[in-house]
Structure 1
Amino acid sequence: MDSSSGSIEAGPKVRHSGSREAIIEAAGRLFLERGFGFVSMDELAEAAGVARRTLYNQFATKEDIFREMLRRVSGQLENAVPSGIEPHGDVEDVLRVIAHAILELHRHPEYCGFLRMVVADSRQFPWIAEEFAAVMEPQTERLVHYLAHLTARDILDCRNPVLAAHQFMGMLNEISLWPWMIGRESIPFAAEDVVDETVRTFLQRYRRPQSKGN
């Protein structure tokens, strides 16, 4: 009897380590397919292959699952605009690093799927957009501060660093993110070409002309 009881206990323990990942994966799939508001916790448990009790042991609500997904997206964003770039490096080299990191982020299906879900559900659930913006805005602010820093050093001439930062990201989004968001293939350009033209276009507008003595 004790032995049988022990075997029963062993099952959930073996699955416990993977149950959280299975739930997150199932949530991403179902939220994207049907929308956040049209997926129940019971359906999530079934799709994840876990018991209802296991689901609630991991997450009390769907909102908690969303926030865990958001936390993971935030971790990916940390690498998109490195926090220590502001005072270092040649501007062209730094912008290339940032551009490549953003394009690499767009290659993660979980990030793009999550973004599509936010767009689809934020009208019905405004808090989704608010929480997503709270994660996105600090990442954009890093680029804004970098551009403002170089403007103060007379390397760039960004009178509105916020606008300039969004212009830079917008050139990249137009090529590799938005086509995917509307269900089309990304425009088939090599990443290096996209980065090269984006940086050159941006600097042609915003790099401050150097004096002849430099």
Structure 2
Amino acid sequence: MDSSSGANEAGPKRHSGSREAIIEAAGRLFLERGFGSVSMDELAKASGVARRTLYNQFETKEDIFREMLLRVSGKLEKAFPPGIEPHGDVEDVLRVIARTILELHKQPEYCGFLRMVVADSRQFPWIAEEFAAVMEPQTARLVEYLAHQTALDILDCGKPVLAAHQFMGMLNEISLWPWMIGRESIPFEAEDVVDETIRTFLQRYRPPQSKGH
């Protein structure tokens, strides 16, 4: 009886471990060789699982990509956390967002996934479309926040979509894009990047009467 119980406990763990191994191998091979150049048999071998186990977990490479995308989505949820509150101090809220984005950029698996999307989206347009479907709602949360702050006359973002992309773009330029093109990150302390990004952004988008406060 005890032996049977132990077997039941081990099964889900092996199941979970196989899935994790497949995702890890897929991330590595997709980045090294491109999505279209990797076969399911190669994924089974690289992940150390039987071919049958692989197909029990994922029917196609597209399913593996979508699983990876769900994980990126979870990371993005943390990058735009519940701290985006209408009544919070705007500088504090922007600081939460900026710090978390920079932390996200430090994660090799996240940046590797982005590189894969850029490399393969021309051959497989659906990759870019599905990635955009995950990214755009997260960006929309920042857009909505900036629009709300503008309605309260705390900010003056006549084009909140543009303003949101400008804010994220300043952070991406320093910590993401150097990595994407294989260069070292620009050597600035994270807090300096956060401070200057917020200062630059608010210098442009804070209404004149409140800039002195």
**TM-score w.r.t. length of structure 2:** 0.92
Q: CA deviation at 1:201?
A: 0.2
1:115 alignment partner in structure 2? 114
Are 1:177 and 2:167 matched, yes or no?
no
| Secondary structure in 1 matching 2:183 | coil
Cα deviation, residue 86, structure 1: 3.4
- For residue 162 of structure 1, what is the aligned residue in structure 2? 161
Matched, 1:199 2:203: no
Whole-angstrom distance in 1 between the partners of 2:99 and 2:133:
23
Contact 2:35–2:120 (CA<8 Å) still a contact in 1? yes
C-alpha offsets along residues 169-206 of structure 1, whole Å, 9 cap, x if unaligned? 00000000000000001101000000000000000000
> Where in structure 1 are there 5+ consecutive unaligned residues?
1-5
Distance 1:31 1:123 in 2: 15
Q: Distance in 2 between matches of 1:123 and 1:34?
A: 15
Label 1:29 to 1:208 Cα distance change in 2 as closer, same or farther (>3 A).
Answer: same
Asked if the contact 2:142–2:164 (Cα under 8 Å) also holds between the matched residues in 1, the reply is yes
Do the aligned partners of 1:23 and 1:44 also contact (CA within 8 Å) in 2? yes
The separation in 2 between residues aligned to 1:27 and 1:202, in whole angstroms, is 38
Change (3 A) 1:211 1:39: closer
In the alignment, which residue of structure 2 is the partner of 1:96? Answer: 95
Q: Alpha-carbon deviations, 1:109-152, whole Å to 9, x = none?
A: 11100000000000000000000000000010011000000000
CA contact (8 A) 1:175 1:186 kept: yes
Deviation by residue 1:40-62 (Cα, 9 ceiling, x = unmatched): 00000000000000000000000
Q: How does 1:49-88 map to 2 (within 5 A)?
A: 49-83=48-82, 85-88=84-87
Confirm whether residue 208 of structure 1 aligns to residue 203 of structure 2. no
Q: Which amino acid aligns with 1:156?
A: L
Shift of 1:89: 1.1
Change (3 A) 1:33 1:168: same
Matching residue's letter, 1:72: R
SS in 2 for 1:189: coil
Give the number of equivalent residue pairs.
205
CA distance in 2, matches of 1:171, 1:164: 11
Q: Kindly provide the amino acid, as one letter, of the partner of residue 71 in structure 2.
A: R
Partner Cα distance (1:65, 1:143) in 2: 29
1:16 deviates by 2.4
What amino acid maps onto 1:93 in structure 2? Answer: D
Equivalent residue for 2:23?
Answer: 24
Q: Give the partner amino acid of 1:159.
A: G
TM-score of the pair, normalised by structure 1: 0.92
RMSD of equivalent CA atoms: 1.9
Q: Runs of 5+ in structure 2 lacking a partner?
A: none
Aligned equivalents of 2:90, 2:172: Cα separation in 1: 21
**1:86 & 1:42 partners in 2: Cα distance?**
47
Classify the secondary structure of the residue corresponding to 1:187: coil
